Chains A and B, each alone.
Chain A
Amino acid sequence: MSHFSDDDLLALSGIQHFAFCQRQWALIHVEKQWAENLRTVQGKQLHERVDNPDFFESRGDILTTRSVPLSSYVLGLYGVADMIEFHAVEQGGVKLNGRDGEWLPVPIEYKRGRPKRDNIDEVQVCAQALCLEEMLNIEIHHGFIFYGETRHRDKVIFHTELRNSVEELAKQMHSLFKQNITPRPNYTSACKSCSLVDMCIPKLDGKHSGVAKYINKFLSRELL
């Protein structure tokens, strides 16, 4: 497996964009385009509430930290976990500075909406777990996604299939990034809710070869 250098790391948060739409990811991460809509602003507000690098809470056998920097040189990703809980375990955890016993990290990702039909939220929290596993040299079995609309956390099991899809997505991300490619649009109903729809212009794809025709139509017409 290849190992990436600091300079090659891509934003971990992008894996969710990439799983949703490769073109959206490329617009954000390759072309550095961004636009807000109601959803993105709500998401940002939720994260602002969660975000606090100095937060540390201890409740018996659970320690909670927020805004934890993460990276994986195997996947080539870096980012910040919204929240990580450290659960006291008999064995299989890690030692924590100034604490007795062993602790198992459990990543928790905050999302504004509700659980989705696809697994794009799961791949993100799984990618966080893979980073933690590499950083702490342990195995993490599960994490959670907290959904703002249902105000409920859903458990995510990091099974092999999910881990594989994270690795595959990370690989594809690096391939497109290296080639500096923005994939062609593929217009679907999901485009309507995408904040980048106006700069993506997904409907253009059908006409991508039609500009010459468009110009010729104007050149040949009679006005009077």
Chain B
Amino acid sequence: MRKLLSVLYVSTPESYLSLEGENIVISVEGTKKFQIPVHNIESVVCFGYLGASPALIGFCAKNGVGLSFVSPYGKFLGRVTGGVYGNVSLRKEQFRRSDDETKCLPIAISCITSKLNNSRVVLERCIRDHAENVDTKSLKEISAYLKINANRLQKCETLDEIRGMEGDNARAYFGVFNELILHQKKHFYMHGRIKRPPTDNLNAMLSFLYTILAHDVQSALETVGLDPYVGFLHRDRPGRPSLALDIMEEFRAFMVDRLVISLINRKQVTAKGFSRKESGEVLMDDDTRKEVLTAWQKRKQERITHPFLNEKIDLGLLPYVQALLLARYLRGDLDLYPPFLWK
């Protein structure tokens, strides 16, 4: 499989990015702080928006390096991409199927099957590893519920049915999510998944990492020539990367939830790293964000065996591999889209 390249997260808002030869140079107040060859970089995410030089923007676009700007708190602002990758017939096929509910169904079912399976594995792992310290009964109950629903899901005949099931399952899963938190429970506790804005530490971390994940998935889809805005389960909505959200369902539990749980349980993050604004929104401070991003990068370098390809890959390549498999399915190489199913 191709090589996993790093994503460069620029978390100091006063940073200015420029191009020197074929290096990305980061300066703060006119002083060079860091430089790295562009060829080692998959994409760049800037928190804060002092900016990047037009030369760097052009170079990134030409060399297929994604360049995104997000607010210091992780809200997506925009991205720079070069010429459209890949083949117009692949995208037209994607559009045609997206317009046809019967052709959307199998893909949507694959994505949500993966979501249910992978959420379930998160719960089961917790029961396996911490049976004495957790409410095993309610975890088992929800795990069984997810399993039954994964089977029921296969028979769904409309996208609305799938969306409804997805919502019910997410509520059930997040309903027992607090059970997974073994330490610092006082400070990391959620009353349901709250997104806009996140009003507790746990939701703040989840929302932040889901944004980062969405960025990776979007880049992966573009790399194989798919349009991240044209989805199969998520409805079209201007500015919403619906396909990225569809594919992301496969990775939320496996890549983000598990990381958030272990960061809290290992006390790599503490309540001190969070603050609450007047509006009730909870934000991470710079150090906590850096800690979370470092852990994210490290996690992406872990090796896993892809359950369908049976091939060892860096975990960070998962979005790329799934995008590739989706493209191959749309091109007629496969009978169904094989989602990522965590063992």
Q: Which residues of A contact B (CB under 8 A)?
A: 30-33, 35, 180, 182, 184-185, 198-199, 201, 203-205, 208-212, 214-215, 218-219, 223-224
Contact = CB atoms under 8 A, between A and B. Distances in A.
A48 to B, nearest CB: 16
A194 B2 CA distance: 13
29 contacts: A30-B89, A31-B86, A31-B89, A32-B85, A33-B224, A33-B225, A35-B2, A198-B324, A201-B309, A201-B324, A201-B328, A204-B309, A204-B328, A211-B308, A211-B329, A211-B334, A211-B335, A212-B335, A212-B336, A214-B307, A214-B341, A215-B336, A218-B341, A219-B117, A219-B151, A223-B121, A223-B124, A224-B124, A224-B127
Interface of B: 1-2, 85-87, 89-90, 110, 113, 117, 120-121, 124, 127-128, 140, 143, 147, 150-151, 154, 224-225, 307-309, 324-325, 328-329, 331-339, 341
A31 B327 CA distance: 10
A211 B124 contact: no
B335 A214 contact: no
Given A201-B328, A219-B113, A219-B154, A208 B225 contact: no
A166 B89 CA distance: 27
Nearest to B117: A218
A204 B308 CA distance: 9
A31 B331 contact: yes
B94 to A, nearest CB: 13
A85 B87 CA distance: 37
A180 to B, nearest CB: 5
Instruction: State the 3 A-B residue pairs at the shortest beta-carbon distance, nearest first.
Output: A211-B336, A31-B87, A223-B124
A33 B328 CA distance: 12
Nearest to B121: A223
Contacts of A215: 110, 113, 154, 336, 338-339, 341
Nearest to B124: A223
Contacts of B307: 214, 218
A33 B336 contact: no
A212 B334 CA distance: 10
Contact of B337 (A180, A185, A211): A211
Contacts of A224: 124, 127-128, 140, 143
A109 to B, nearest CB: 27
Given A211-B338, A215-B336, A223-B121, A32 B328 contact: no
A33 B89 CA distance: 12
A92 to B, nearest CB: 44
Contact of B324 (A199, A210, A212): A199
Contacts of A33: 86-87, 224-225
Contacts of B333: 182, 184-185, 201, 204-205, 208
Contacts of B143: 223-224
A128 to B, nearest CB: 27
Contacts of B309: 201, 203-204
Contacts of A31: 86-87, 89-90, 225, 331
Given A214-B338, A215-B338, A224-B140, A32 B117 contact: no
B178 to A, nearest CB: 21
Given A32-B225, A182-B332, A224-B124, 7 more contacts: A33-B86, A33-B87, A201-B325, A211-B308, A215-B154, A219-B113, A223-B120
B307 to A, nearest CB: 8
A215 B150 CA distance: 10
A219 B150 contact: yes
Contacts of B150: 219
Nearest to A218: B341
Contacts of B339: 215
Nearest to A223: B124
Nearest to A210: B335
Contacts of A205: 333
B30 to A, nearest CB: 36
B340 to A, nearest CB: 10
Contacts of A209: 335
Most chain B CB within 10 A, of A31, A209, A223, is at A223
Most chain B CB within 10 A, of A31, A214, A215, is at A215
B63 to A, nearest CB: 12
A198 B324 CA distance: 9
A162 B46 CA distance: 56
